[in-house]
């Protein structure tokens, strides 16, 4: 129970620390009786660390590991649901892949015809607008 209190103190200390410090260092280490507590300042996850053979070995805290496993399970379920949906779309005849070169060229031809006709309409409207705005010729004053 004493370790849970220490973890809480470490977490609260990390949250109260300055934002600039949190941006500079992703991990914060706090010494405990049995080693260190490492806090990931970006995710809030904590790990217990011990020194072994002049190396720092860190293990995920039990509650973090459970949350991690829960996240993995949720992601696996989402992937399975998406794969099932793709499979049902493919079996229903809805196309889920890219068009063939022939289909692409045909679509591009439609777009080109549309824009050529559209630009022709704009040109005609512009010509009519200019004709209406042309000043009348003034009589010669000689």
pLDDT single digits (tens) 65-118 = 778 888 899 999 999 999 999 888 888 877 667 888 999 999 999 999 999 999
* 10 has a pLDDT exceeding 60: no
0.85 exceeded by pTM: no
Q: Write down the residue that tokens 């790990």 correspond to.
A: 47
Q: Of all residues in the chain, what percent carry a pLDDT higher than 90?
A: 29
- Please state, as a whole number, how many other Cβ atoms lie within 10 Å of the Cβ of residue 38: 20
Task: Please say whether the beta carbons of 11 and 44 come within 8 A.
Answer: yes
Q: Quickly count: other Cβ atoms within 10 Å of residue 129's Cβ.
A: 9
Report the pLDDT averaged over residues 29-42.
Answer: 87
Does the pLDDT value for residue 55 go beyond 80? yes
pLDDT at 12: 43
How many Å is the Cα radius of gyration of the chain? Answer: 35
Res 73: pLDDT:
94
Mean residue pLDDT across the chain: 79
Does pLDDT of 138 surpass 90? Answer: no
**E-assigned strands of 1-142?**
27-32, 35-40, 46-52, 55-60
């Amino acid at each position: 129970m004493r370790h849970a209190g220490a973890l809480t103190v470490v977490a609260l200390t990390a949250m109260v620390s300055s934002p600039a410090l949190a941006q500079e260092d992703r991990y914060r280490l706090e010494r405990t009786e049995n080693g260190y507590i490492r806090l990931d300042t970006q995710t809030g996850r904590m790990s217990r660390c011990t020194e072994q053979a002049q190396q720092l070995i860190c293990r995920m805290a039990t509650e973090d590991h459970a949350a991690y496993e829960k996240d993995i399970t949720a992601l696996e379920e989402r992937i399975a649901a998406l794969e099932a949906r793709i499979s049902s779309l493919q079996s229903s005849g809805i196309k889920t892949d890219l068009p063939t070169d022939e289909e692409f060229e045909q679509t591009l031809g439609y777009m080109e015809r549309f824009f050529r006709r559209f630009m022709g309409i704009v040109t005609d409207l512009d010509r009519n607008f200019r004709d209406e705005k042309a000043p009348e010729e003034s009589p010669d004053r000689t």
